[in-house]
Chains A and B, each alone.
Chain A
Amino acid sequence: MDFPGKKDLLKAESFSVFYGDNEAVRKVDIEIPEGLVTAIIGPSGCGKSTFLRAVNRMNDLIPSCRAGGSLRLDGQELYTQGLDVVMLRKQVGMVFQKPNPFPKSIFDNIAFGPRIHGVRDRSKLAGLVEKSLQQAALWDEVKDRLGDNAMGLSGGQQQRLCLARAIAVNPKILLMDEPASALDPRSTSKIEDLIEELKGKYTILIVTHNMQQAARVSDLTAFFYEGDLIEFGETSQIFTKPGEKQTEDYITGRFG
């Protein structure tokens, strides 16, 4: 697919992910351009989260999981021997379905990533923390209590904290695995506003169950069904005149 002026950041060629013998993602070809928001939609168990987690190799945590084909981030093949997973994950931030701040202070949460990657200087860390929290629109709410435990924040604040934590290492791409599904509508809309603001600075890949959300926040939408990539295109086009029957059935609520 061609988007003028945008280079492809993430490129999958005949990429598959297996859990044991079960092929959860089946020979997917997709090119995700830089600087845009791409939504992945599809019914439960369609492989969208698995695909997302393949990008930062979080699937490695599952012993029976392996991958086939090629997945490249910025030209770098991800599934080769000798890939430095730490360096990969520095380039790929992730926000999870359930807010999962560490039971540490707000400051230490944000500084966790930079510290792993060798930032020790206190003033430099403080600067990073402030910048990240500002980008996540949380700075004004927490600037006076950076030393407080992050578990004391509300669910929505926690999720924005997790977002700030992810962007503190300045990743090339941000993965979001249903980032608003555990939140109330107000917090959800805040997260959506944030995605809007972060667009351009980061390439965002978001998995969502909520089709209105996908329609609201994304530039591109990919529809997965039973491990196959059925359709990939501009969001406006997918939601108004989908090219495939299955896509239409899904977005009109006939299944899923």
Chain B
Amino acid sequence: MQNISLAIVLAPLFGAIIAGLFPVSKRVAHSVTIGAVGLSFVLSVCVFYKIVILGEAGFNETLYIWLEVGAIKFEIGFMVDSLTAMMMLVVTFVSWMVHIYTVGYMRDDPGYNRFFSYISLFTFAMLMLVMSNNFMQLFFGWEAVGLVSYLLIGFWFTRESAIYANLKAFLVNRVGDFGFILGIAAVLMYFNSLNYVEVFSHANEHKDTMMQIIPGLDWSVMTVICILLFIGAMGKSAQFPLHVWLPDSMEGPTPISALIHAATMVTAGIFMVARMSPLFELSTTALSFVMIIGAITALFMGLLGLVQNDIKRVVAYSTLSQLGYMTVALGASAYAAGVFHLMTHAFFKALLFLGAGSVIIAMHHEQDMRKMGGLKKYLPITYWTALIGSLALIGFPGFSGFFSKDAIIEATHHAYEAERAGAGFAYYAVLLGVFITALYSFRMFFLTFHGKERMDEHTRSHLHESPKVVTIPLILLAIPSVFIGMLTIEPMLFGEYFKGVIAHNPFNAEDYHGVIGFMIHGMLQPPFWLAMAGVGTAYYLYMKAPHIPEQITYRCNLFHKILLDKYGFDRFNDWFFAGGTRKIGNIFWKIGDIKIIEGIVNGLAKMVIWLSSVIRQTQTGFLYHYAFAMILGLAVLLGIFVFGAKL
């Protein structure tokens, strides 16, 4: 098992090294990386089979000791249980699809090999993250995926917007990691270990431990640890107010938007909180905090999707909003539902992004939906797969997103009934979010594929379906987007799939009456009708009466402007953080260092020169001056000798 785990992790790293460091041909670069990630996928299936189907015990072993200080060992090792096995499948499968898709998407790019190297490196880092058995290695993977994200957002490094976005992404993530590393330090302080199993098994002992961060104020240690760790998740999973980097990350090539900024990396925060569920369960304060942050993200980021015209940005805001849903689930203690949504979302959101990419290729890298329309007949495969993705996203009954989203809303409702702080707000936020999701999704869908053809003649004449390397991944991703929900809901939410891995599960097996029962139940609930209303509204506004959106824009000008301005976060951050730090830097440098410190130092030097120029006056060179001084000195000495004795 250790060897298999090692092979799963190292295969993509090997691919990345071959494609990145050696001058190989394009063909070799993509063959090696696709082969390596394919191998990881196949082996992940084996691991999944062993652990989940055969029910073998999970695997938890140390690979080597990174370093040892006193009694504390920092280790690199793997822990594979049902949660990890699922994540491994999702990561390697989506990554594999994206690798294949890239062959078509990046065909003529001069950085072809570099791109393959990066996405394989990403796969390695992400696997290290999910397979870790301790907090430190988690942080390793955590930062490494951040690095690759930085490299890939800035992949086209001559574009000013791209290199602005990648720096921003890295720094915002670092703000999150700042909290994360303090959280890890807190764990080490109270548990004297960073190993998951050891920490979780002693978690209860610190249930009532208090610490003082501000002298005189007692805070629960678990609350502090969980909130600090969650700040890390807020960065990586782009939760309000650290969400600002994700929309800009769309500057990167579309395949990585699918892989990194939708399906896998951004869900690392969700995975992490689910992994830490034994800790989070001990602090309802932290859980309420998580839930409120998630709810804000789910609702308000969804709203921004309504006013975007760039096809990728609509999907990006949709991702933000869906990440908010997952976070709400975590806050409602329904970790399983959050992870379940993570999985279904990975498939259908990767599908939507790759579909958007297929549209972008067909449109010759035009991303503005106002210049699209009527693409249905030119791109049939893209059209149908995008429809599947959209239906899954809005939670249409039967599609994968339906099951996971319904479960989240259900769980939030439970939490609301249980009077958990913030759950009321969260419940209405996620309910309203369903309507908004449906509205922006189908706004995008109608604007792109239906209605008038608004592109220019030249583009129209070249429109055709994307090549097979692009469409086959779409089809392969469409399959789980439909079926994965109904196939896995029973074991994951109502069964024992996560037993012993995730600390708490609000769902009861008695409440479950099969997939059909769940669907019928869902269709009687408000979310279904809200989604339908959203689709209907989109149809009416963008197909039947396209003049109305303009009127709404005009009437609600202020609201529209706020949305276009993304609530002013970017402006505020640029002004306050980017500008402020530079201002402080200049003050420290020009006043602190140059004026004050250098002033004193150079002042001392000047004083020495002044003093010596004064003393130099005594060195006149005239013999009688010196003789006089000698006599004076002699007189003083004698004087002391004579009179001093008397005193």
A, B bound: no
Q: Which residues of A are in contact with B by a Cβ distance under 8 Å?
A: none
